[in-house]
Structure 1
Amino acid sequence: MHGIIFLELKKYVGAKWGAPAWSTLLADAGLGSRSYLPVHEYPDDEAELLIGTVAKTTGQTFPTLLEDFGEFIVPDLLQVYRSLIHANWRTLDLIENTERMIHRIVRLRNPGARPPQLVTERRNPSQVAIHYRSTRRMCGIAKGMARGVAKHYGERVAIHEPQCMHTGAPECVIELRLAN
């Protein structure tokens, strides 16, 4: 997993439970004083271990925590990738173009990066479906990011997931509809 996700997780943990919580989390997860750099790749199982440890420690479910984390990271990611985001885009436009404009560049800049594959289907002006494919199966982050992007644009989205890898499907289908 890309180092920026670990740095965002550290920021998330600090914002929710205070700066010392990160060191405690690393210790509880058995990772000692591990540090992460933004442009390196790290084992997926470390991210899963850290997120699972946060969930266990806080009593949240893994999916709920993923969604909250996904929403939390949006402002920073929008800042990092602002040059790739068209000024006239709104929530569904950005989501519809994430694979083409952002994930493609991430893969070009860092050949080891493996962001999820997103195939989008614009069903009408107020609805888009995301076909989410990733061996990580962290579709909760995508749902949280959709909420975070909508929040950024002053919009709201209703999210429906008729198909999920966690229930045996080969991919997740996440349907987003503007709720404003």
Structure 2
Amino acid sequence: MHGLVHKTLKEYVVDRTDDETWDTIVDRAGLEPTLYLPVSYYDDAEIDAILETLSGMATQDRRAIERDVGRTLAPELLSTFSAHVSRDWTATELLAELDDVYSDIETATDDTSLPAISACLESDHGVVTYETHRDTTYCGMAHGILEGVVAAFDGDTTVTETACVDYGADACRFRVDLE
């Protein structure tokens, strides 16, 4: 997985607790302390171990933590891939352009491990579909990322999960209500 995810997860934990708690989570997860670089790639198993350990120590379940991490990750992704997104867009324009933006990012990063993402617009909402080849789906994180990204373009937009592979669907789908 892209190092930006690992780095943001660490920052998420440290910002809400402290460095000592992060060290405890890494130790309990059975991992070696690592300086996560945003441009490197790391094993998904590290994210899984950290999320499992964190959810075991916290009062939230893993999916809620993933979603919150996703919202935290969204601004980092927007900053990293800012050359592909116009900050003047509305949430509707973002959804209309999402397939092209995502294709540009895939081409620019030459990363075959990215999930498949697509969007379509209806009269008053958009539908974003998320599919991953990973063993762990990270649907909660995808939900949070989408919430964070569309909030950056329109603070009043609501994102609702309407289908999820974790509950038997063929892909995760999110309804984005547009104002």
Q: Which category describes the TM-score, using the shorter chain as reference length?
A: 0.7 to 0.9
CA 171–6 in structure 1, closer or farther in 2 if over 3 Å, else same:
same
Report SS of the residue matched to 1:78. helix
Q: Which amino acid is 2:148 matched to?
A: G
TM-score, normalised with respect to structure 1: 0.86
CA 110–84 in structure 1, closer or farther in 2 if over 3 Å, else same:
closer
Residues 3, 38 of structure 1: 8 Å contact kept? yes
Distance 1:93 1:52 in 2: 36
Equivalent in the alignment of 2:2: 2
Equivalent in the alignment of 1:66: 66
Distance 2:116 2:26 in 1: 29
Q: Which amino acid is 1:68 matched to?
A: D
Residues 131, 173 of structure 1: 8 Å contact kept? yes
Q: Give a deviation string over 1:23-75, Cα, whole Å, max 9, x none.
A: 22211110021332222222212211111211111121111111111111222
| Pairing 1:177–2:177 present | yes
Report SS of the residue matched to 2:110. coil
Q: Which amino acid is 2:44 matched to?
A: D
Distance 1:43 1:56 in 2: 21
Residues 88-107 of structure 1 mapped to structure 2, 5 A cutoff: 88-101=88-101, 103-107=102-106
Report SS of the residue matched to 1:21. helix
Q: Percent identity?
A: 24
Distance 2:66 2:95 in 1: 18
Q: Which amino acid is 2:107 matched to?
A: L
Residues 96, 120 of structure 1: 8 Å contact kept? yes
Distance 2:107 2:90 in 1: 25
Report SS of the residue matched to 1:14. helix
Equivalent in the alignment of 1:116: 115
Residues 165, 171 of structure 2: 8 Å contact kept? yes
CA 109–58 in structure 1, closer or farther in 2 if over 3 Å, else same:
same
Off by >6 Å, runs of 4+ in structure 1: none
Equivalent in the alignment of 2:54: 54
Give the C-alpha shift of residue 143 in structure 1: 1.6
Report SS of the residue matched to 1:162. strand
Q: Which amino acid is 1:117 matched to?
A: A
Equivalent in the alignment of 2:128: 130
Equivalent in the alignment of 2:13: 13
TM-score, normalised with respect to structure 2: 0.87
Give the C-alpha shift of residue 96 in structure 1: 4.4
Gaps of 5+ in 2: none
Distance 1:154 1:108 in 2: 27
* 89-98 or 112-121, which deviates more: 89-98
Size of the aligned set, in residue pairs, is: 177
Report SS of the residue matched to 1:174. strand
Distance 1:53 1:111 in 2: 32
Residues 87, 153 of structure 2: 8 Å contact kept? no
Root-mean-square deviation over aligned CA pairs: 2.0
Equivalent in the alignment of 1:32: 32
Residues 26, 34 of structure 1: 8 Å contact kept? no
